[in-house]
Amino acid sequence: MSQLEISCGLDYITTPDLQACLTEALHCNYSFIVSPIVHPRFRRQYVTNVGKTGGFTRSDMVLSPQDWTTRLVGKLSPYLNVDSASSTVRQRHEDCMNEELSYCRGLGVPAIMLTLHGRDTNNLARILQTYYETSHHISLIWARVPMVCNKMLRDHVDHEDNGDSEESWNETWFWWSKFHERLEWDKRVGVVLELSADLPSEDLLKRWLGEPVKAIIVPTSIFHNNKKGYPVLSRAHQQLVVNMVEHEAQVIVSGARRSNIEFYLQYLYRLWKRRPNPADDPMLSYARGWEDYLQTPLQPLADNLDTHTYNVFEKDPVKYDQYQKAIALALTDLQKLDTQVHNKDASILDAMVEKKESGQGDSDNNNKKVFTVMVLGAGRGPLVRATLNAADITNSKVKVIAVEKNPCAVVVLAAQVREVWRDRDVVVVPGDMRQLNLTPKADIIVSELLGSWGDNELSPECLDGAAGLLKPGGISIPCKYKSYVAPISSPRLWAAAKAASTGTVTSKDKNLETLWVVYMQNKHDIAETKEVFTFEHPVKGIVDHNGQEISDYRGLPLTDNRRSATISWEVKQDNVMHGFGGYFDCLLYGNDIISIVPSTHSPGMISWFPVFIPIKTPLRVEKGQVITATFWRCVDSRRVWYEWIVEVGDRTTPLHNSNGRSSEMLL
Amino acid sequence: MSQLEISCGLDYITTPDLQACLTEALHCNYSFIVSPIVHPRFRRQYVTNVGKTGGFTRSDMVLSPQDWTTRLVGKLSPYLNVDSASSTVRQRHEDCMNEELSYCRGLGVPAIMLTLHGRDTNNLARILQTYYETSHHISLIWARVPMVCNKMLRDHVDHEDNGDSEESWNETWFWWSKFHERLEWDKRVGVVLELSADLPSEDLLKRWLGEPVKAIIVPTSIFHNNKKGYPVLSRAHQQLVVNMVEHEAQVIVSGARRSNIEFYLQYLYRLWKRRPNPADDPMLSYARGWEDYLQTPLQPLADNLDTHTYNVFEKDPVKYDQYQKAIALALTDLQKLDTQVHNKDASILDAMVEKKESGQGDSDNNNKKVFTVMVLGAGRGPLVRATLNAADITNSKVKVIAVEKNPCAVVVLAAQVREVWRDRDVVVVPGDMRQLNLTPKADIIVSELLGSWGDNELSPECLDGAAGLLKPGGISIPCKYKSYVAPISSPRLWAAAKAASTGTVTSKDKNLETLWVVYMQNKHDIAETKEVFTFEHPVKGIVDHNGQEISDYRGLPLTDNRRSATISWEVKQDNVMHGFGGYFDCLLYGNDIISIVPSTHSPGMISWFPVFIPIKTPLRVEKGQVITATFWRCVDSRRVWYEWIVEVGDRTTPLHNSNGRSSEMLL
C-alpha cells in the first residue's frame, strides 16, 4: 500500500487557453486537469444536422496527443439535460451531447466527466450505451454526484426537520446507483464524489467505499486555514480522503482559489504520507496488487499443484504454527488417554514396576507408545515438519506416514526423508488417500485440504474416503469446518466476473455461476456474515431405522456430503446486492482455530483469499427487506458442485449453476 | 377453431393393472390416462443409494412403447415434499423423486404430473432443472395446482372474514407463478388447473388464461345431475371449460365415479360442440394455426415482398374498402374546394356560361378538373383499383400514378394497365418514392406502408422522402397514425422469443431485443392499451428560431422522425410482466380509421397481427405498483430502430436494443 501514490487533478470552470492551464497545473505538480469540452457560453444552433460550419470548440492542435490522452479529463456541458420533461429540449440536448461525446472520442481523452442531477437518467444512460457501442477507443465515463442532495437538505431545514436528513444523503447515492444500473454496472463507468462540508453517517460513507469511486472532488471551500494560514481539512474529511485514496480514488481540487493552488496539493500529499502505516498487516502487504482480481479456485484434487503454489502456501507465517499447536495438543491428549488405559490395565504388580522405571528417562521413552500420525496430502512436507516439532515439544514418539498423490511432491518428500528426517520415523506413501489401505492405522490424521470456502476443495470427500486409515476413536485434524457467506454490494467484482474471459460461448452465464477467489477491496457488506455448511471428522455415518451406522462395501461409514442451507438477512440500508463474500473457519483440534471470516480472521494468516459468489441479476434491496439465500452442495459419482438462488420479497434470481453446468469440482 | 378437438384424459388414483385401466379409458373414448408412477402405498428404504434390489415399480413391459409415449401421464408420488423444513425429509424425498423422474425418463412418458403445495418450491424447481439438464428425451412437466387455496379459504370462513377471500384465489396462482419463474418460464413446463366448486372473479380467471394451462382437472364432484340423471356442469364452469379448451388445454376427469365414466366424456364433447361458433370472425379463421407463433416483422423497404405476401394482403376484405371510402371522401373534398375556387375566380359572365353547361353531363365532365392521385408503393395494384373505384363513385376524373420499387410488382402493374385499366389514365412509374421527381404533383398521395406497430415499416421516412411529390395543400392518405402498447403477461410468448433460433451466438439477448409479429393468444393484459408515437402527413417541418420552416437541400421540409415516449400504468392485479402487446391505428382521411388496437379493431381486417415486444427480464408486479416504460424511436442515416426500458418501483430492466444492436429497419 505504501507504494501507492496519491494522484491529484485540478478542475477548471473555463479554459480559454487550454495549454496555459495545463502548464500551470503541471507546474504546481498536479497530474491532470479537468476542463470543459466546449466553452460554457457557447450555444449551438438549433438544428445541428444541417449546415455545420467549422468546429464548435478549440482545435485539437493546442495540446500534444500525449497530453490529450493522459492529462485531460473532458467535462460535458453541465447544462445539458437529456432527460428533460420537454421533448424538444431533450432532443436538442441529446444532439449537443452527442456532438461533445463525438469530439471526446476524436481527442481520445482518458475520461469524460458529466454531472448527474437526479434519479431520472434513462436517456443519458441510453446515449452513453450507444457511445460505447460505437466507439473503438474507450474513454472512461466519470459521473459526478454531490455527496448530499442540497435541495432536499434545504427542504428539511425549511421545515425544521433536521432529524431525518438522512434521505438527503441517501438520495445522491441513488442517482449514481440507478445510473450505473442502467449501464448494467459497466466497469468503464465510475463515480466522482463531490465532498460536502458536512459528512453523513459512517454507514453511508462505507456504502460509498463499495462503489467504484474514480475520483473525489474536494472543493476549496471545505478547507479552512490553520494558524499559519495554510489550507487544511477537518479530521473527518482527512479520514475520508485517505480511505478513498486507499480505494484507488484520485483527488480533484475544485473551486475558487482562496490560497495558492500549490498549497492544496502539498497539504494532500502530507496527509497521505502521514496516514497510519498499514504495512504492518502481512495480509495487506501480501495482497497488494491482487485487490479485486478474480482467480479461479484451485482444484488440488483433480490437478496437481505446482512448485510456485507450494512455495506460497509454505510461507504462511501462521497456519503451520496453528497446526503444530493442534497436533501437540492431540498428542498430549492421546498420551493422557494411553496412561489412563495403561494404569487401568496394570495390576498392582505392574504399578510397582512402573515406580522403578519412572526414574529412567531413556527406558521410559523406549516403552512409550508410538503414535502413528498420517499426514494426508503431505505436499512437500510442512505438516510433517509440524508433526515432528509437535512430537518434540510434547516429548512423544511418533511414526509419521506422509501420503501424497502428486508425484513431484513425492520426490521432494523422499529427498527430505533422506536428507532432513534421516533419524526420524517418517515414511512416504505415494498415492490417493481414498484408495490406500495402510497398517498400522493412524492415531491422528492431519490434513490441509480446505479451500477459501471451506469444503470447496473436496476435503469432506477426501477425508471420508480415507476414514479407513484412522483407528476407531482416532483424531482428525482438522475436526470441524464451516463455510460462511455475507451478501455484498460490489459493482466492480460483479462486472469483473461478468467480463471474465473463459473462452467459451456461454461465458457470461458461466462466469456468474462460478466461485471466484479474490482479495475483495471495492465492496460493501450489506449484512453480517452467517454460517452455511458444517463438516466434521471423523464423520458420523448415516444410521438405519434401528440406529445402526450403515457401512459401504469397504466397511467405511456411509456418508452424505450433500447439504442445503437457507439463510436470511435483514437489509439495514438501501443497497444493491451483487453476490456474496464467502469465507470459512476451521477447528483444528481442542479450541485451536484458523479462520478467514472477517470478524475472526487469524491475524497474519495469508493462505486464503475469500471467494466472491456472484448472482446473475443484481438485486436492488431496500432497508427493512429480507434477503433469503439457499445454497446446495450437490454430489454425484464424478464431481461436486454448488447451486444457489436468492430471493428478496417476490423477486427470485434464476437458479445458479443447475446440475453444475458452469462450475464443478472433480472427484 | 372448429377443427380443434377437445382432448380428455382419465385420472386414476391407483392402477394395479395399468393395461386394464388404459383399456377401460380408451374404450370410453378418453385419449389418455393419468397414473401414479409408483404404487401409493409403496415406501422405499431409507437410504436409496445402497443395495437396491430390483425395480420399485411395475415392469415397462405392461404397455406398448407407443402407449407409454402417447397415452400415459405419469404422476409423481404426491406425498413427496422436497422443500420440507426438515433436511432429512428433504434429502430423502429428493432421492425418491429423482428415482421416479429417472423411471419416467426411461419410459418416455409425454408428461409428468406433480402437485404444488405452496410457494416454497426452490428445491423442486432445482431438481427439475437438473432433470432437464440431464435428459435427452424431454417429457413435459405438468404442475398441478388447485384453483383456490382451501386452507386459506377455511381460515377466512373460520374468522367470518368472507369478504376478502380473494387472496385464497390469488395464492395458488402464486404457487404456480413462482414455480414457473424458478424454472425461468421454461416452455416445457405447464400448469394443470384443478377446478373448484366455486369460481373466482372474472379478472382472476382471465389471468389464468395468460398462463400455459396444459390441462384442467374437472373433479366429478363439481358435476351435478340433470333431470335425466346425467352429470352436467354449472354455466360458469361450462364457460370456463370452453375458454380453457380454446386455449389448448386438455381436460382430465378425476375423482369418484358417481356416474358411468363415459357420461362425463360425452357431456364434455357435447359442451364443446355446442359452444358459440367463433368461425364467424374472419380474423379467427385466418389466424388459426398461427396462435402464439412468432414471426420476424417484414422489411418491405429493404426487401421486396414476394407473391405470396401480396396474395395475402390483397385478400383483406376490409382494408381496401376503407381506403376506397377515404379516397372517395378526399376526392369529394377536393371537388368542393375546386368548385369554391372556381366560383370565386369566375366573373358574372362565367356564371352564366356555367348555367348553360350544367345541363350537359358530358361536356361538364370534360371541363372537370383532373385530380392526380399518386399511389406510393402500389404493389400489384389494389390501391390503384381502390382509387379508380373511388373516382367512379364520386364521379371524379383522376390521373393515377402508380409508383413501385419492386420490379416484379411493376411487371404485374404494367400488365394490369394493358389488360384491365386500358381505358383509364393510369401510369406506372418504377422506382423508389424517395428519389423520384414527377410532374404533375399529386393532389392526393395514397400509401399503405404501415407495419403492425404503425411506423415500424418506415412509412414516415418513405412519405417524408416523397413529400416533394405532393402539391402544397395536397392530401396524404393515411394522414395520421399512432402506435400503442399494453404491458402483458405471457410466459409462452416470452419463452418462445427467448428460444427463437436466429443462428447467432448472442441469440438469447438478440431475440429479447426484437419486435415479433404474432397472433397472441396465450397472454393476459396487465393494463390498458396506451399511445406511444404519432406521425402525421403531410408533415409539419421543423421551424427555426424565427418560426420559419427549415428546408433540406431538395427543398423538402426538414423532419425529425425520432421520438421518445414515457408511458405509465397502474397494476390492477398481481402479475408478471413479460413484455408488451403492440398495435396501431391509422386515420386514413376524414374520420375513416383502420385499427388493430383490440378495443377498436376494424372488424374483419386481417392484414396485421399485433407485435410482441419482449423484455429481457420478466418483472413481477404487485397490485397498486406502477409500470413505467420508455420507448425511443432512433434514426441514423442508414436505419431506424427502437430502444426501450421498463421500470417498476426501484427495479429497472436493462436498456433494450442499444444502438439497434439486435434489431433494426434498414432505410
pLDDT in tens, B477-523: 999 999 999 999 999 999 999 887 655 445 557 899 999 999 999 99
Residue A49 pLDDT: 45
Quickly count helices (H) and strands (E) in chain B.
19, 27
In a domain, B157, yes or no: no
Provide the angle, in degrees to the nearest 10, between the axes of the packed helices A261-274 and A235-246.
Answer: 70
Residue A348 pLDDT: 52
Closest to A217 in 3D by CA, of A13, A523, A358, A388: A13
Across B4-46, where does the E strand assignment appear?
8-11, 32-36
Quickly count helices (H) and strands (E) in chain A.
19, 27
Please state, in angstroms and as integers, the Cα–Cα distance from residue A487 to each residue in A179, A185, A428, A516, following that order.
22, 17, 44, 15
Residues of A in contact with B182 (CB under 8 A): 645, 652, 654-655
Chain-chain contact of A652 with B562 (C-beta, under 8 angstroms): no
Average pLDDT, chain B: 88
Residue A4 pLDDT: 64
H or E segment to which residue A168 belongs:
helix A166-182
Nearest CA in chain B to A83: B564
Mind listing the pLDDT tens digit for each residue in B179-209?
A: 999 999 999 999 999 999 999 999 999 999 9
Q: Is the peptide bond before B407 cis (omega within 30 degrees of 0)?
A: no
A34 and A10 Cβ atoms separated by less than 8 Å: yes
SS3 B214: strand
Please state, in angstroms and as integers, the Cα–Cα distance from residue A303 to each residue in A322, A667, B193, following that order.
27, 10, 51
In this predicted structure, the answer to whether residue B69 has a pLDDT above a threshold of 90 is no
Q: What is the CATH number of the domain that holds A452?
A: 3.40.50.150
Q: How many CB atoms lie within 10 A of CB B99?
A: 18
Residues of A in contact with B133 (CB under 8 A): 658-659, 661
H helix intervals, A375-458 = 382-394, 407-419
Same domain, A505 and A634: yes
In a domain, B352, yes or no: no
- Choice among B94, B99, B448, B461 that is catalytic: B448
Query: Shortest CB distance from A550 goes to which of B50, B122, B505?
Result: B50
In a domain, B372, yes or no: yes
Same domain, A441 and A318: yes
Question: What does A55-116 look like in DSSP terms, one character per residue?
Answer: -SS--GGGS-HHHHHHTEEEEPPTT--TT-SSHHHHHHHHHHHHHHHHHHHHHT-SEEEEE-
Distance CA A163, CA A150 (A): 15
Residues of B in contact with A659 (CB under 8 A): 129-130, 133-134
Q: Which residues are CB-contacts of A435 (< 8 A; sequence separation ≥ 6)? A: A465
Interface of A with B in 151-190 (CB under 8 A): 178, 181-182, 184
Q: Which residues are CB-contacts of B155 (< 8 A; sequence separation ≥ 6)? A: B161
Smallest Cα distance from A537 to chain B, Å: 20
Chain-chain contact of A655 with B129 (C-beta, under 8 angstroms): yes
Please state, in angstroms and as integers, the Cα–Cα distance from residue A173 to each residue in A163, B225, B617, following that order.
19, 67, 24
Q: Give the bridge partners for A621, in sequence order.
A: A575
Residues of B in contact with A620 (CB under 8 A): 650-651
What's the number of domains chain B is made of? 3
Q: Does A90 touch chain B (CB under 8 A)?
A: yes
Q: Is the pTM of this model over 0.90?
A: no
Residues of A in contact with B46 (CB under 8 A): 544-545
Same domain, B438 and B319: yes
Residue that is last in its domain, among B477, B496, B526: B477
Residues of A in contact with B178 (CB under 8 A): 650, 652
Q: How confident is the model at residue B52 (pLDDT cuts 50, 70, 90)?
A: very low
Smallest Cα distance from B510 to chain A, Å: 14
Chain-chain contact of A178 with B90 (C-beta, under 8 angstroms): no
Chain-chain contact of A50 with B552 (C-beta, under 8 angstroms): yes
Query: Shortest CB distance from B560 goes to which of A91, A544, A650?
Result: A91
Q: Does A102 touch chain B (CB under 8 A)?
A: no
Smallest Cα distance from A506 to chain B, Å: 9
Q: Does B90 touch chain A (CB under 8 A)?
A: yes
The whole-number average pLDDT for the span B331-339 is 91
Distance CA B211, CA B147 (A): 13
- Choice among B99, B246, B248, B457 that is catalytic: B457
In a domain, B295, yes or no: no
Residue that is last in its domain, among B433, B458, B477: B477
In a domain, B301, yes or no: no
Distance CA B184, CA B508 (A): 13
Residue A69 pLDDT: 85
Distance CA A197, CA A666 (A): 56
SS3 B70: helix
Same domain, B13 and B98: yes
Closest to B145 in 3D by CA, of B102, B176, B179: B176
Residue B175 pLDDT: 96
Residue B4 pLDDT: 64
Residue that is last in its domain, among A477, A509, A527: A477
Distance CA A258, CA A547 (A): 82
Q: Does B360 touch chain A (CB under 8 A)?
A: no
Same domain, A493 and A632: yes
Same domain, B465 and B601: no
In a domain, A289, yes or no: no
In a domain, B56, yes or no: no
Give the burial class of A91: count Cβ atoms within 10 A of its Cβ; 0-12 exposed, 13-18 middle, 19 or more buried. Answer: middle
Distance CA B50, CA A40 (A): 79
Nearest CA in chain A to B553: A50
Residue B544 pLDDT: 76
Distance CA B566, CA B552 (A): 30
Mind listing the pLDDT tens digit for each residue in B403-438?
A: 999 999 999 999 999 999 999 999 999 999 999 989
The whole-number average pLDDT for the span B567-591 is 97
Positive or negative, the Cα torsion across B77, B83, B85, B90?
positive
Nearest CA in chain B to A653: B182
Q: Which residues of B are annotated as a binding site for S-adenosyl-L-methionine?
A: 310, 319-320, 404, 432-433
The whole-number average pLDDT for the span B624-633 is 97
Query: Shortest CB distance from B550 goes to which of A47, A617, A650?
Result: A47
Residues of B in contact with A654 (CB under 8 A): 182, 184
In a domain, B324, yes or no: yes
Residues of B in contact with A577 (CB under 8 A): none
State residue B556 phi and psi, 5-degree precision: -80, 150
Least confident residue range of B105-119, B474-488, B630-644: B105-119
Positive or negative, the Cα torsion across A375, A380, A383, A384?
positive
Residue A372 pLDDT: 97
In this predicted structure, the answer to whether residue B353 has a pLDDT above a threshold of 60 is no
Same domain, B14 and B122: yes
Same domain, A219 and A243: yes
Residue type for A232, please? V
Query: Shortest CB distance from A659 goes to which of B129, B560, B651?
Result: B129
Same domain, B469 and B491: no
B475 and B447 Cβ atoms separated by less than 8 Å: no
A319 and A592 Cβ atoms separated by less than 8 Å: no
The whole-number average pLDDT for the span B557-564 is 90
Q: How confident is the model at residue B361 (pLDDT cuts 50, 70, 90)?
A: very low
Catalytic positions of A are 448, 457
Q: Does A549 touch chain B (CB under 8 A)?
A: no
Provide the angle, in degrees to the nearest 10, between the axes of the packed helices A319-345 and A382-394.
Answer: 50
Distance CA A200, CA A207 (A): 11
Q: pLDDT: is B501 or B568 the higher one? A: B568
Q: Does A87 touch chain B (CB under 8 A)?
A: yes
Smallest Cα distance from A204 to chain B, Å: 19
Q: Which residues of chain A have pLDDT under 70?
A: 1-4, 40-61, 157, 159-164, 278-279, 344-366, 501-508
SS3 A184: coil
Q: Which residues are CB-contacts of B383 (< 8 A; sequence separation ≥ 6)? A: B320, B323, B375, B446, B447, B448
Structural domain for B638, as ranges: 480-666
Q: pLDDT: is B138 or B330 the higher one? A: B330
Residue A442 pLDDT: 96
Smallest Cα distance from B538 to chain A, Å: 20
Please state, in angstroms and as integers, the Cα–Cα distance from residue B624 to each residue in B207, B576, B649, following that order.
16, 13, 11
Same domain, A495 and A467: no
Chain-chain contact of A658 with B122 (C-beta, under 8 angstroms): no
Distance CA B282, CA B396 (A): 33
Q: Does A101 touch chain B (CB under 8 A)?
A: no
Q: Does B655 touch chain A (CB under 8 A)?
A: yes
Same domain, A196 and A255: yes
Which residue's C-alpha cell is 443395495? B51
Q: How confident is the model at residue B311 (pLDDT cuts 50, 70, 90)?
A: confident
Terminal Cα-to-Cα distance of chain B (whole angstroms): 39
Residue B366 pLDDT: 62
Residues of B in contact with A645 (CB under 8 A): 122, 126, 182
Interface of A with B in 551-570 (CB under 8 A): 552, 558, 560, 562, 564
Interface probe for B, chosen from A175, A176, A564, A616 (most Cβ of B below 10 Å), is: A564
Residue A345 pLDDT: 62
Q: What is the CATH number of the domain that holds A120?
A: 3.20.20.150
Residue B365 pLDDT: 56
CB pairs A-B closer than 8 Å: 97
Q: Does A288 touch chain B (CB under 8 A)?
A: no
Distance CA B536, CA B543 (A): 16
Please state, in angstroms and as integers, the Cα–Cα distance from residue B31 to each residue in B21, B25, B210, B225, B265, following that order.
12, 7, 25, 24, 10
Residues of A in contact with B50 (CB under 8 A): 550, 552, 558
Same domain, A401 and A549: no
B475 and B515 Cβ atoms separated by less than 8 Å: no
Tell me, yes or no, if B643 is annotated catalytic. Answer: no
H or E segment to which residue B577 belongs:
strand B575-589
Smallest Cα distance from B625 to chain A, Å: 13
Residue type for A264, please? Y
Chain-chain contact of A632 with B126 (C-beta, under 8 angstroms): yes
Question: What does B356-386 look like in DSSP terms, one character per residue?
Answer: HHTT-HHHHHHHSPEEEEEEES-TTSHHHHH
Q: What is the CATH number of the domain that holds A504?
A: 2.70.160.11
Distance CA A9, CA B612 (A): 50
- Residue A536 is labelled as binding a ligand: no
